[in-house]
Amino acid sequence: MSQSRKGRRLQLYTYEQLPKWYQQMESPYITAGYRNNLSYQQCLRSIFQIHNETGNIWTHLLPAILFLPLALYDVAVIVPGLHGKLADYVTMAIFHFDNQITLLASAYFHTFLAQGCKQNYEQCLAVDLWGVAMATAGNSLIYVAYAFCCSWWWQLFYYGLLGGLMTWYSVIWLHPRMVPGWVSLERRLLAFFPLWVGVLAALALHTLHHNRHWPDNLAQLLALHYWLRAVANHLVGIIVFFFAKVPERWWPGRFNIWGQSHQGFHIVVVLSQLFWRRAIISFMQMELQTFC
């Protein structure tokens, strides 16, 4: 048994000391601070220790905690203040539930990936990917509810489409036999393509056609503004932090613990969630001024 499994002191490794499969999963620009060969309990304790995943864990675990009182405030104060209907309460509940899935699935992955087993790593990563897919599809459901509030047919069409995608993502990333075939970067992009490119693009273009009078009041303008900010913010985060891996690409080894790109990406995700929350509130205000 390795030293890291025997003692309570956390042993850290350099990138070169990792197994080849582990190196392929990680960024070579993060040169040290890796955990490996930890038990489930040691991974859990490492949440409160310093390593190169500490920032990745807490940039989503802490917002998950802070979003809980915000969820209560939205349901108890914001929605009643806007004279919300039952559907508005459901919408806000779905939004916050999706947020918790995304944030906690991410924290789970970054906490338990260091068990020294490729299979366990891939299963933890799959949970993270599933959380991202559920949040994206869930927020799209909310968008459909308001953007097509005067057309139950199109609502049902997109609900069915998004429901089918959510079921598919649950199968490929939660079923143990399916996980190995859907965690490589190429297969991840392939899996997300119908949701990110197909459905989201279709929703955007269809909305512009279906609601050609938009925006004709302040609520509609604000709803579109915050929705577009959430989408644009997310796209910039994906390009700059996830793919370009700035800043550690420029200064390898300087951001092993704090300030690495993935932490920046996590912050972008949280900001996007806040923008999307503001968009939902504006959509509720818009609905008060919409006469079908």
Query: Is the alpha carbon torsion for 43, 182, 137, 267 positive or negative?
Result: positive
**What pLDDT is stored for residue 224 in this prediction?**
66
**What pLDDT is stored for residue 17 in this prediction?**
98
Where does the pLDDT of residue 2 fall: very low under 50, low under 70, confident under 90, or very high at 90 and above?
very low
% of the chain with per-residue pLDDT over 90: 72
**What pLDDT is stored for residue 221 in this prediction?**
58
Where does the pLDDT of residue 208 fall: very low under 50, low under 70, confident under 90, or very high at 90 and above?
low
Q: What rounded mean pLDDT belongs to the chain?
A: 89
Mean pLDDT along residues 147-170:
92
**What pLDDT is stored for residue 60 in this prediction?**
98
The answer to whether 262 is a known ligand-binding residue is yes
Could you tell me the two tokens for 91?
A: 């919408």
H-helix segments, 32-82: 40-45, 54-73, 79-81
Euclidean distance between CA atoms 18 and 37, whole angstroms: 10
Question: Peptide bond preceding 194: is omega within 30 degrees of 0, i.e. cis?
Answer: no
CB 131 within 8 A of CB 102: yes
CB 263 within 8 A of CB 61: no
pLDDT digits (tens, 9 = 90+) for 244-261: 999 999 999 999 999 999
For the cut 70, the answer to whether the pLDDT of residue 179 exceeds it is: yes
Least confident of 5-19, 78-92, 119-133: 5-19
Euclidean distance between CA atoms 92 and 281, whole angstroms: 9
Q: What is the CATH number of the domain that holds 23?
A: 1.20.1070
For the cut 50, the answer to whether the pLDDT of residue 134 exceeds it is: yes
pTM of the predicted model, to two decimals? 0.92
Residue type, 19: P
Closest CA to 195 of 151, 147, 132, 145: 132
pLDDT digits (tens, 9 = 90+) for 112-133: 999 999 999 999 999 999 999 9
**Domains contained in the chain, number:** 1
Radius of gyration in angstroms for the set of CA atoms belonging to the chain, rounded to a whole number: 21
pLDDT digits (tens, 9 = 90+) for 90-114: 999 999 999 999 999 999 999 999 9
Structural domain containing residue 87: 3-288
The answer to whether 225 is a known ligand-binding residue is no
Residue type, 25: M
The answer to whether 175 is a known ligand-binding residue is no
Q: What is the distance of C-alpha 280 from the center of its chain?
A: 17
CB 148 within 8 A of CB 154: yes
Closest CA to 39 of 96, 117, 99: 117
* Residue 30: count of CB within 10 angstroms of its CB: 22
More confident residue, 9 or 10: 10
Backbone angles phi, psi at 34, to 5 degrees: -85, 140
